[in-house]
């Protein structure tokens, strides 16, 4: 076994003694610290919300929806290394302002409409799948237009709720 050389490190906060760290331990610490830099490319990225059919085939984007009617939606979350997918929420003018995601754990306000399911996989639907189950969600607009007449739909990364995509619809 080779002799390990030690490196003396003096700290200004502890003038009483010297700290000894072996070079291999110091090298490991330096590798760990250098690998801890946060990069936006390693954070989950939430693509645009797309309108689909029940199988996940993309449909034309909507800007409005009749009260009580629904539409299928899909979103792709990239850099989702844990494959946690997306959580779906909706707000209307009586709730948080558009562009503000719901705080984690807050219950959905059903007066703005509902999603089934509230959570989907990272999409897109694989070509071998016979349905979009688990990859697409179905949004149902409220039975009556909400105050202000618009709703904002959110697809938020489960791994990082600060990463989300939105689409706003007029309910008429």
pLDDT single digits (tens) 46-86: 999 999 999 999 999 999 999 999 999 999 999 988 889 99
Which has more pLDDT, 42 or 119?
Answer: 119
Instruction: List phi, psi (to 5°) of 8.
Output: -85, 130
pLDDT confidence bin for 9, thresholds 50/70/90:
very low
CA-based max dimension of the chain: 78
User: Measured at the alpha carbon of residue 109, what is the angle toward residues 77 and 114, in degrees to the nearest 5?
Assistant: 60
What was the pLDDT predicted at 38?
46
Task: Say whether pLDDT at 120 is over 50.
Answer: yes
- CATH 2.60.40 location in the chain: 42-171
Give residue 104's pLDDT band: very low, low, confident or very high (50, 70, 90). low
Does domain 42-171 fall under CATH 3.40.50? My reply is: no
The whole-angstrom separation of Cα 56 and Cα 124 is 7
Task: Determine the pLDDT at residue 111.
Answer: 82
């Amino acid at each position: 076994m080779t002799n390990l050389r030690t490196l003396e490190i003096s700290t200004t906060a502890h003038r009483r003694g010297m700290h000894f760290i072996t070079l291999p331990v110091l090298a490991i610490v330096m590798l760990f610290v250098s690998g801890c830099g946060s990069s936006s490319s390693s954070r989950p990225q939430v693509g645009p919300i797309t309108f689909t059919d029940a199988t996940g085939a993309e449909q034309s984007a909507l800007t409005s929806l009749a009260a009580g009617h629904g539409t299928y939606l899909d979103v792709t979350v990239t850099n989702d290394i844990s494959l946690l997918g997306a959580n779906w929420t909706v707000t209307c003018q009586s709730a948080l302002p558009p562009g503000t995601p719901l705080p984690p754990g807050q219950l959905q306000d059903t007066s703005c409409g509902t999603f089934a399911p509230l959570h989907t996989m990272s999409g897109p639907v694989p070509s071998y799948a016979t349905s979009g189950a688990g990859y697409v969600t179905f949004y149902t607009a409220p039975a009556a237009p909400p105050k202000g007449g618009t709703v904002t739909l959110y697809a938020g990364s489960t791994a990082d709720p600060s990463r989300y995509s939105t689409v706003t619809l007029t309910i008429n």
